[in-house]
Every structure is written in structure tokens, then in C-alpha cells.
């Protein structure tokens, strides 16, 4: 036969414990409300991003302006979403874009398919493709999410303006 006291205890003790935890948090919030601020007034205020945050892609350059990308397509091969398209072309003496034999004539990323995993950045042997912290990527037209090389390639001198360190990992600077 059911013991009514035991039934009541089993039903109400966990509820009481849960309410106690809630009350405890509520009181703690009230106590610290004047010191701690939980709401960020975006877009007027912006929270500092974590150091390894990965958002918008960029194709970077060496300090002398040459493109780091050598059109090897390793990034496209590593991409799990298959959203990178690379078309390579040969550098010539009169038209040199990168220090290597080849450069990316076409480089596109379909940002609608990208999952921002950073595998392309990891796979790149020259440190050409990087994901930076710019997260405001919303747009109105699907076609605008196809980022072309012109959109991805950093303007010459941008890194110096940002005061960033040299990011080349393996490719030596041409002399
Ligand atoms: S971040 Fe990931 S999904 Fe996006 S382009 Fe790079 S490898 Fe592909
Ligand atoms: S971004 Fe890097 S991995 Fe991708 S094609 Fe260029 S050099 Fe190769």
C-alpha cells in the first residue's frame, strides 16, 4: 500500500530543491545587478571577439604586395561543404601575381554553404586564406553571397594598416 507521506515527499522535495536553486540565482543576480552588465547594446556596443573566432574569409598578401595564394586547391579539397572553387593560372615574367609558379586566377567561396570550420585555413600551405572576426555578413540577395577573388583579396597595405604580424608559414619572400 502506498505511503501518502512518502508520495508527497517524492513529489515535492525535488520541486522544492529546484525552486531553491532558482531563488538562489535570482537573489544573486539582484545582488550583483548594479555591478554586472549582461546586455550589450549592439550595434552601438560590440563585444570583444574571442582570439580564434572564425568568420569572414580573406586572401592575404605578402608585404611586397604579391598574393600568397598559389592556386593549389588544397583548401577546396579540405572543405567539407565543397564551397570553394579555385582556378589556377601560370605566373609569367611580365605578369607575376604570386611568388610561386602559379596563382589563383579565380577564387570563389559560396558563403551560403560555408560552415566556418576553418579547415581551408588549416590546409593552406602558404597561409593565404584566413578567417577573420568580421561577423556581419548578412545580405539581401543570394548572388551576393558568392564571394569572388576581388572581394576576398586584401587590398595592398591593409595588413600594415592593421598592424598585423607576417602570417606566412612556409612560403619564402621572393627577392
Ligand atoms: S571555413 Fe570550412 S566550410 Fe567554410 S570555406 Fe573553409 S573549409 Fe569550407
Ligand atoms: S588559398 Fe591556400 S590552399 Fe587554397 S588555393 Fe590558395 S594557396 Fe592553395
Instruction: Output the pLDDT for position 159.
Output: 62
CA-closest residue to ligand 2 atom 8: 72
Phi-psi region of 47 (alpha: psi -120 to 50; beta: other; left: phi over 0): beta
pLDDT in tens, 73-130: 999 999 999 999 999 999 999 999 999 899 999 999 999 999 999 999 999 999 999 9
What pLDDT is stored for residue 7 in this prediction? Answer: 83
**Confidence class of residue 2 from pLDDT cuts 50, 70 and 90?**
confident
Residue 68 alpha carbon to ligand 2 centre in Å: 8
Distance, in Å, from the CA atom of 13 to the CA atom of 5, rounded to the nearest integer, reads: 11
Q: Considering every ligand atom shown, identify the ligand nearest to the alpha carbon of residue 70 and give its number.
A: 2
Residue 76 to residue 142: CA distance in whole angstroms: 21
The set of residues, in sequence order, having a beta carbon less than 8 Å from that of 149 and lying 6+ positions away, is 59, 104, 106, 107, 108
Q: Which helix (H) or strand (E) holds 86?
A: strand 84-90
Determine the average pLDDT of the residues in 29-44. 79
Distance, in Å, from the CA atom of 49 to the CA atom of 10, rounded to the nearest integer, reads 46
To the question of pTM greater than 0.85 for the whole model, the response is no
Residue 34 pLDDT class (50, 70, 90 cuts):
low
CA of 88 to the centre of ligand 2 (A): 10
- Across 58-72, average pLDDT: 96
Beta bridge partner(s), residue 130: 58
Cα 45 to middle of ligand 2, angstroms: 35
pLDDT at 173: 44
Low-confidence winner among 6-10, 46-50, 60-64, 131-135 (lowest mean pLDDT): 6-10
Q: Is the separation of the CB atoms in 117 and 55 below 8 Å?
A: no
Higher pLDDT: 93 or 166? It is 93
Q: How far apart are alpha carbons 49 and 51 in whole angstroms?
A: 6
- Identify which of 114, 127, 145, 148 to mutate to test ligand 1's pocket (most ligand atoms within 8 A of the CB): 114
Amino acid at each position: 500500500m502506498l505511503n501518502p507521506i512518502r508520495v508527497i515527499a517524492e513529489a515535492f522535495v525535488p520541486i522544492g530543491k529546484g525552486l531553491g536553486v532558482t531563488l538562489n540565482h535570482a537573489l544573486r543576480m539582484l545582488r550583483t545587478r548594479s555591478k554586472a552588465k549582461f546586455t550589450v547594446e549592439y550595434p552601438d556596443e560590440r563585444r570583444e571577439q574571442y582570439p580564434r573566432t572564425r568568420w569572414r574569409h580573406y586572401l592575404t598578401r605578402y608585404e611586397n604586395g604579391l598574393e600568397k595564394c598559389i592556386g593549389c586547391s588544397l583548401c577546396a579539397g579540405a572543405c567539407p561543404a565543397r564551397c570553394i572553387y579555385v582556378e589556377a593560372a601560370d605566373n609569367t615574367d611580365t605578369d607575376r601575381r604570386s611568388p610561386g609558379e602559379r596563382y589563383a586566377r579565380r577564387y570563389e567561396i559560396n558563403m551560403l554553404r560555408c560552415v566556418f570550420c576553418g579547415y581551408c585555413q588549416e590546409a593552406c600551405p602558404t597561409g593565404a586564406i584566413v578567417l577573420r572576426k568580421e561577423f556581419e555578413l548578412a545580405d539581401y540577395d543570394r548572388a551576393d553571397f558568392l564571394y569572388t577573388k576581388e572581394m576576398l583579396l586584401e587590398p595592398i597595405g591593409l595588413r600594415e594598416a592593421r598592424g598585423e604580424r607576417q602570417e606566412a608559414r612556409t612560403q619564402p619572400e621572393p627577392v
